[in-house]
């Protein structure tokens, strides 16, 4: 049997991304329903934000020139609370003004109330103790958003702050990409669902909950087709069912080339498949292909990605390969995984020709600690950790060296 080709992580990712095409359909949803969705169209602001020059402090709106006079006492000629509009500031006068209120015509600075005093016995005069500079404490009209200009770009993943930007632009609804539809199933005769008794030699299916939750975090619609026994017929049947109405099928387990591994022959029979050995640890084998939705292919294909069965391997390969693929299907812009330089507070002396992804967490000293057991079966390493160190092939390092850190948080949205 010929050995599958060995790819670098970057080659595997590029191959996946070059195949993924964004879904074309979109839908219009109310603002709160758009959380976690992907914007399908630029959002142009309906208004200037702020709508007028306004004050960012409680205090007095003045003409800077008037505050240079000896004594600096000005007549308070008007009062402008937020939500009302003042009149032109007469020479030698000040306007009492409150945060968010528009600057009256003629004023060119605000003096905060802490820098002023009311002369003894006066009710309509203010003494300016610290002369302002021109433009002080004034927020300019349109400095946040400009009417008719893009406030948010198509392809943006919508977090709470993007919903706020869209609301400040005056929108009630957003056009978002339809959700990517993903089918999952889990291969392995040893698997049971939690709540069921374990078979002799059995283990619980943990990948199901990890992967379904990953898909939920990414805003996908997921359908689980359950645990599929290690045989060709059952695997092919489930593939056929899962291909209907789904953009992507994700499985775990059975992607090696042992006689109990049926993913490769099953997907090959129902579509097409590349089986890759990726030079990463954890998570070497990864299967990528497509399953026909109908015999004559007139309904197209569902993409197929087969992850390794070991729980850490399937989680890490999901984050590194499946997530960027899904992002691209969703039409999101930022498909590449971002790493940050961080200080390792541990030595790493095991040379491996594979690119290793170590489970680590940030310590209070601002460095990274390593989880002691890096086995691909020990899922508590990922739960203890807050991210991965991307350790290039053949590399070792010492405590104090800078390494590439990838936070889990950034990969779960």
Which residues are at the interface with Mg ion (CB under 5 A)?
188, 253-254, 309
When the beta carbons of 93 and 251 are compared against ligand AMP, the nearer one is: 251
Binds ligand AMP by CB under 6 A, chosen from 253, 271, 282, 306:
253
Q: Which single residue is written with the structure tokens 């770009």?
A: 153
Instruction: Tell whether residue 205 is a contact of ligand AMP (CB under 6 A).
Output: yes
By CB under 6 A, what part of segment 309-338 binds ligand AMP?
309-311
Exposed, middle or buried, 84 (CB in 10 Å: 0-12/13-18/19+)?
Answer: exposed
Least distance CB 283 / ligand AMP (angstroms)? 10
* d(C-alpha 218, C-alpha 79), whole Å: 50
CB nearer to Mg ion: pick between 254 and 282:
254
Return the number of the residue (60 or 186) whose C-beta is nearest ligand AMP: 186
CB of 374 to ligand AMP, least distance (A): 16
Q: Is residue 267 at the binding interface for ligand AMP, with CB under 6 A as the rule?
A: no
Indicate which of ligand AMP, Mg ion, none lies near residue 243 (CB less than 5 to 8 Å, by partner kind): none
Residue 212 binding ligand AMP, by CB under 6 A:
no
Among 162, 141, 144, residue whose Cα is nearest residue 152: 162
Tell which one of 50, 132, 188, 331 touches ligand AMP (CB under 6 A).
Answer: 188
Residue 254 in contact with ligand AMP, rule: CB under 6 A = yes
Residue 77 CA, chain-centre distance (Å), reads: 51
For residues 29 and 257, which CB has a smaller minimum distance to ligand AMP in the complex?
A: 257
Asked whether position 252 contacts ligand AMP by CB under 6 A, the answer is yes
Q: Is 256 in the site for ligand AMP (CB under 6 A)?
A: yes
Select from 7, 122, 135 the least CA-distant residue to 63.
135
Among 62, 97, 191, 290, binds ligand AMP (CB under 6 A): 191
Q: Using CB under 6 A, count the residues that bind ligand AMP.
A: 17
* Pairwise CA distance, residues 121 & 182, whole Å: 74
- Quick one: angle between helices 232-243 and 263-270, nearest 10? 50
Nearest residue to 237 (alpha-carbon basis) of 183, 196, 275: 183
Token readout for 365 is 């000293």
Fill in the per-residue mask, 292 to 311: x = in contact with ligand AMP (CB under 6 A), - = not in contact. Answer: ----------------xxxx
d(CA 281, CA 189): 25
Cα 290 to Cα 240, 261, 267: the distances in Å are 11, 18, 7
> Does 26 sit near ligand AMP (CB under 6 A)?
no
Rounded to an integer, what distance in angstroms lies between the CA atom of residue 413 and that of residue 410? Answer: 6
């Amino acid at each position: 049997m010929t050995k599958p080709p060995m790819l670098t992580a970057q080659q595997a990712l590029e191959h996946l991304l070059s195949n993924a095409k964004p879904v074309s359909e979109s839908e219009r949803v109310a603002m709160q329903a758009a959380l976690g969705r992907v914007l399908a169209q630029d959002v142009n602001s309906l208004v200037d934000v702020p709508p007028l020059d306004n004050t960012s402090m409680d205090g007095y709106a003045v003409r800077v020139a008037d505050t240079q006079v000896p004594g600096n006492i000005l007549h308070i000629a008007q009062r402008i609370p937020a939500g009302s509009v003042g009149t032109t500031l007469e020479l030698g006068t000040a306007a009492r003004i409150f945060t968010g209120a528009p600057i009256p015509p003629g004023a060119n600075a605000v003096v905060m109330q802490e820098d002023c005093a009311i002369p003894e016995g006066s009710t309509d005069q203010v003494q300016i103790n610290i002369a302002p500079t021109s433009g002080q404490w004034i927020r300019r009209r349109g400095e946040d958003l400009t009417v008719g200009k893009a406030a948010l770009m198509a392809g943006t993943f919508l977090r709470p702050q993007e919903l706020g930007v869209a609301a400040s632009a005056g929108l009630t609804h957003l056009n978002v990409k339809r959700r990517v539809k993903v089918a999952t199933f889990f291969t392995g005769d040893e698997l049971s669902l939690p709540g069921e008794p374990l078979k002799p030699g059995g283990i619980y299916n943990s990948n199901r909950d990890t992967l379904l939750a990953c898909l939920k975090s990414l805003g996908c619609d997921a359908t689980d087709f359950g645990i599929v026994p290690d045989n060709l017929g059952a695997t092919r049947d489930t593939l056929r069912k899962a291909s209907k109405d789904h953009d992507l099928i994700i499985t775990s387990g059975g992607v090696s080339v042992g006689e109990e591994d049926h993913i490769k022959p099953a997907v090959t029979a129902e579509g097409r498949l590349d089986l890759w050995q990726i030079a990463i640890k954890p998570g070497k084998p990864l299967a990528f292909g497509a399953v026909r939705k109908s015999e004559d292919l007139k309904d197209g294909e569902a993409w197929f990605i087969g992850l390794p069965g070991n729980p850490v391997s399937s989680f890490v390969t999901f984050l590194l390969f499946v997530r960027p693929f899904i992002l691209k299907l969703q039409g999101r812009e930022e498909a590449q995984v971002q790493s940050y330089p961080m200080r390792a507070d541990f030595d790493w002396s095991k040379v491996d020709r594979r690119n290793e992804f170590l489970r680590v967490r940030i310590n209070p000293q601002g460095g990274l600690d390593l989880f002691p057991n890096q086995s691909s079966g020990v899922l508590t390493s990922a739960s203890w950790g807050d991210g991965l160190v991307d350790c290039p092939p053949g590399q070792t390092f010492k405590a104090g060296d800078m390494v590439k850190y990838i936070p889990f948080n950034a990969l779960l949205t």
